[in-house]
Structures are given as structure tokens and as C-alpha cells.
């Protein structure tokens, strides 16, 4: 077995001390006043010898691993994939590596992932919490683990979090449908107690109420584990009967995509027979024959803010919890005209 290259090997070839090599390879040459030519020489030798740093030894010495744990709900969802990429890119700017996994909206899987990440000695966590994971959040607080909640949070738990104005976004979106002449707007949301979905439902219901329109019989839900069949059933319920819905507001992009597939199968014309609007965007919306109106969330800003808040905790700059609520944008396209 080939011997692993050490700092000592590089130092001997460069004719300098191991301490000086360590400064250069941890990007601290300016602090140690290492000349530019010497720093370049050391890096070239390290590259030629295929030097691989011992992160475990470094973390034991510094007390940090320079890694962040990220748990999203579903990495296959474009919203969470884009958010994860933004967080990864922003963390890299601060010399942090991101390790991530998907909870699949399952609290037990979320708990397992948190344990795995903490055992990997991550310096902090960014979480999109699953339903029923409140006790996990409380435990993190008890253990003084730096963490930030993104996209979702639990109103009863004081913790740093980033969200969007879900209520106002939904209210304004449904009001747009009403002003476009729609009298019976239905909504399809996930069957969950998570606060952000509850706020979207509230915005929907109150927008219709304020415009003197019915909502109670037109709000349908779908289970995450039975997305396809439940969405079909919800669409059938909304479009059946003597007074079918003339618009549908989907609470997430995953619901919208399943709904649009089925609406297309049924031969329903959008927007002539039915207006469609979705919370969150998706590239699939551009491919639909009637480009879909959607509520755009500021993913780039959310990801950057999540990393900033977490690093402030890790470095001790932030002692108190910070809540950040961001604005969304209603992107109006043909599906709701």
C-alpha cells in the first residue's frame, strides 16, 4: 500500500517547515507572511505529490469540520434541488462543504439523517423540517447545535428561520384569479399540518371570502405518499357536478405538475375552460402548451441567507434567533389569463 503524502514530505521537498506548508495549504499564507512565489511552489509540490489533507485531524485540532449538514424534503423536487445548489455554492464561498440528504417528508428519516450528520461532526445544520419533527428541533436547541430552518418553521418553537410570506402570496394570487373573472376557484394542497401550507390555505380562503365567493367545498387535499391518485381524485371532485371549478390553485409545484398531466388527459382547455396557478415554479411549466402562472420564491436569496445565519451561529456572531421573511413575485402568464 502506497504511503500517504504528509505535510512533512512537502516541507522536505520545498525546503521549509511543516508549519509553513500548513499555513499555505489552509489559505493562511498572508497571515504567516509567506511570499507569493513560495506559496505557489508549495501548492505545485502538493498537487504533484497528490496530497490529500487529513480533515479528521484538522477538525480535532480546530474544533470544526468546515462542513454543513443540509436536509431537504425531496431533492427530486426542483425547488429543493435549486435551494440545495444555492446553499452549496454559497457555503463554498466560505470554504465550507455541504453534506445533504432527503427526508422524503418523513419525520423518522429526518431524525436518522440528523444523527448521521451530527456523527459526521458537521458544524451546523440547515433543515427543511418534516411534519412531526418538532421534538427533533427542540433536541437540537437543547444540545446547542447551530441550525437554521429554511422554507418552513414551527411557530411554537423559537429558532432562526427563513420563509416567504405564504399567506399574502396565496391571497394575492387568488385575488388575481378573481379579478380575471373566475368565480369558482378550487385549491389542491397537501394533507399536512405544516405551517407554510396552512398559511397558503388561509390566504386562499380569505381571498375568496373577501371577494364574496365560496371556498369551503372547493379546498381539496392530497397525501404526499399518494400524490398521483389523490391529485386525480381532487381534480375530479373540483371539475365534477353541476358547478365545476373554473380555476385551480395548486399549493406546490409537485401538485401542479401531477394536476396538469391529468387535466391534459381529460382534454380540458387551459385557460379557456380552467385557469391554473401554482405556488413555486418548475421548468415543466414552460413546456405546457399554456405557460403556467406561478408564485416565484426568491431561492437564491433564501439559500444565501440560510448560510449567513448559520455561519453567524457557528462563529458566535449571532447570539439570538433571527427570523427572515422574504417577498415572492406573482409571475402572470397565459394559464390564468
* CATH code assigned at 320: 3.40.50.2300
Same-domain status, 173 and 249:
yes
Number of helices (H) and strands (E) in the chain: give both, helices first: 13, 12
**Grid coordinates of 309:** 445565519
Q: What is the pLDDT of residue 20?
A: 83
Q: Give residue-wise pLDDT tens across range 145-192.
A: 999 999 999 999 999 999 999 999 999 999 999 999 999 999 999 999
Measured between alpha carbons, how far is residue 97 from residues 65, 90, 254 in Å? 9, 10, 29
Residue span of the structural domain in which 247 resides: 166-297+331-336
| Residue in this structure with the C-alpha cell 457555503, named with its chain if needed | 91
The mean pLDDT of the chain is 91
Which pLDDT score is estimated for 118? Answer: 94
Q: Are residues 149 and 171 in the same domain?
A: no
Put simply, whether the predicted model's pTM sits higher than 0.85 gets the answer no
- CA distances (Å), 75 to each of 28, 32, 102, 254, 304, in order? 35, 42, 6, 12, 18
- Answer yes or no: is 58 within a domain: no
Judge whether 1 lies within some domain.
no
Strands annotated E in 174-227:
185-190, 219-222
195 shares its domain with 287: yes
Q: Are residues 240 and 157 in the same domain?
A: no
- The predicted pLDDT at position 2 comes to 59
Percent of the chain with pLDDT over 90: 71
Domain containing 46 — which CATH number? 1.10.260
Q: E-strand spans in the chain?
A: 67-72, 97-102, 124-127, 147-150, 161-164, 185-190, 219-222, 247-250, 275-279, 293-296, 323-326, 329-331
Looking at the fold, whether 226 and 288 belong to one and the same domain comes out as yes
Closest C-alpha among 216, 290, 294 to residue 254: 294
The residue ranking higher by pLDDT, 265 or 215, is 265
Going by C-beta distance under 8 Å and a sequence separation of 6 or more, which residues neighbour residue 120? 65, 67, 69, 99
Do 84 and 125 belong together in one domain? yes
Confidence class of residue 60 from pLDDT cuts 50, 70 and 90? very low
Q: Determine how many CB atoms are found less than 10 A away from the CB of residue 292.
A: 26
Residue 2 lies in a domain: no
Specify the number of domains making up the chain.
3
Interval 7-43: pLDDT, tens: 888 888 888 888 888 888 877 777 767 888 888 888 9
Amino acid at each position: 500500500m502506497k504511503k500517504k503524502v504528509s505535510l512533512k514530505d512537502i516541507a522536505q521537498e520545498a525546503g521549509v517547515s511543516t508549519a509553513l506548508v500548513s499555513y499555505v495549504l489552509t489559505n493562511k499564507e498572508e497571515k504567516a507572511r509567506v511570499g507569493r512565489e513560495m506559496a505557489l511552489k508549495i501548492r505545485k509540490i502538493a498537487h504533484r505529490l497528490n496530497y490529500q489533507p487529513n480533515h479528521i485531524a484538522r477538525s480535532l485540532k480546530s474544533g470544526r469540520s468546515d462542513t454543513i449538514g443540509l436536509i431537504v424534503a425531496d431533492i427530486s423536487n426542483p425547488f429543493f434541488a435549486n435551494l440545495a445548489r444555492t446553499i452549496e455554492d454559497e457555503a463554498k464561498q466560505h470554504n465550507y462543504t455541504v453534506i445533504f440528504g432527503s427526508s422524503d417528508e418523513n419525520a423518522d428519516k429526518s431524525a436518522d439523517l440528523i444523527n448521521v450528520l451530527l456523527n459526521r461532526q458537521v458544524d451546523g445544520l440547515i433543515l427543511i423540517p418534516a411534519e412531526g419533527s418538532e421534538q427533533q428541533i427542540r433536541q437540537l436547541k437543547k444540545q446547542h447545535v447551530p441550525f437554521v430552518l429554511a422554507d418552513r418553521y414551527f411557530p411554537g418553537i423559537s429558532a432562526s428561520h427563513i420563509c416567504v410570506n405564504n399567506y399574502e402570496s396565496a391571497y394575492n394570487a387568488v385575488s388575481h384569479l378573481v379579478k380575471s373573472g373566475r368565480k369558482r376557484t378550487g385549491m389542491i394542497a397537501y394533507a399536512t399540518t405544516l405551517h407554510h401550507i396552512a398559511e397558503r390555505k388561509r390566504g386562499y380562503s380569505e381571498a375568496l371570502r373577501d371577494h364574496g365567493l365560496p371556498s369551503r367545498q372547493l379546498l381539496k387535499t392530497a397525501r404526499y405518499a399518494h400524490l398521483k391518485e389523490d391529485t386525480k381524485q381532487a381534480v375530479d371532485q373540483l371539475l365534477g357536478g353541476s358547478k365545476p371549478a373554473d380555476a385551480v390553485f395548486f399549493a406546490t409545484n409537485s401538485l401542479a405538475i401531477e394536476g396538469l398531466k391529468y387535466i391534459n388527459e381529460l382534454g380540458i382547455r387551459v385557460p379557456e375552460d380552467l385557469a391554473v396557478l401554482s405556488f413555486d415554479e418548475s421548468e415543466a411549466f414552460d413546456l405546457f402548451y399554456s405557460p403556467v402562472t406561478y408564485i416565484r420564491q426568491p431561492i437564491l436569496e433564501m439559500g444565501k441567507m440560510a448560510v449567513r445565519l448559520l455561519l453567524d451561529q457557528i462563529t458566535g456572531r449571532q447570539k439570538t434567533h433571527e427570523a427572515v421573511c422574504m417577498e415572492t413575485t406573482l409571475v402572470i402568464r397565459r394559464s390564468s389569463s
